[in-house]
């Protein structure tokens, strides 16, 4: 009887702690998906956002606004400025290539 329990515990441990064989792709962050959607809704071509640059030390008076530079996978760069208010639309402007 003891061997049966030990065998059952061993099998359950192997099943529960087994690593998945398929490597998981990291999910895109919500902010990247949100920025890609905002840029697309503004009428620009941005299938997915590759990286986001956030102004860490905004100028005086910009505390209310959140300027972000989104770099798309196709190489285009956009500045997206959104307010903390719910009823305002974000402003999207293309930036010149560096």
- The per-residue pLDDT for range 22-81, each reduced to its tens digit, is 555 555 566 888 899 999 999 999 888 988 887 666 677 666 777 889 999 998 999 998
Task: State the pTM of this model.
Answer: 0.62
Q: Tell me, yes or no, whether 7 lies in a domain.
A: no
Whether 87 has a pLDDT exceeding 90, the answer reads no
Residues 6-12, mean pLDDT to the nearest whole number: 82
How many domains does the structure of the chain reveal?
1
Q: Tell me, yes or no, whether 11 lies in a domain.
A: no
Please tell me the predicted confidence (pLDDT) of residue 93: 92
Q: Tell me, yes or no, whether 10 lies in a domain.
A: no
The percent of residues in the chain predicted with pLDDT above 70, rounded, is 74
Domain range for 81 is 28-95
Q: How far is it, in rounded angstroms, from Cα 45 to Cα 97?
A: 15
Q: Tell me, yes or no, whether 59 lies in a domain.
A: yes
Q: How far is it, in rounded angstroms, from Cα 14 to Cα 8?
A: 10
Q: Tell me, yes or no, whether 33 lies in a domain.
A: yes
Strand boundaries in 1-98, DSSP class E: 49-54, 65-72, 77-83, 91-95
Please tell me the predicted confidence (pLDDT) of residue 55: 66
Any idea what DSSP says for residue 52? E
Q: Tell me, yes or no, whether 14 lies in a domain.
A: no
Q: Tell me, yes or no, whether 81 lies in a domain.
A: yes
Q: Tell me, yes or no, whether 69 lies in a domain.
A: yes
């Amino acid at each position: 009887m003891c061997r049966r329990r030990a065998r059952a515990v061993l099998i359950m441990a192997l099943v529960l702690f087994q690593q998945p064989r398929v490597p998981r792709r990291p999910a895109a962050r919500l902010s990247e998906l949100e920025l890609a959607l905002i840029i697309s809704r503004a009428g620009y071509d941005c299938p997915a956002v590759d990286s986001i640059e956030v102004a860490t030390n905004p100028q005086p008076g910009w505390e209310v606004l959140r300027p972000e530079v989104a770099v798309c996978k196709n190489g285009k760069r956009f500045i997206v400025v959104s307010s903390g208010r719910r009823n305002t639309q974000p402003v999207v402007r293309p930036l010149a290539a560096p």
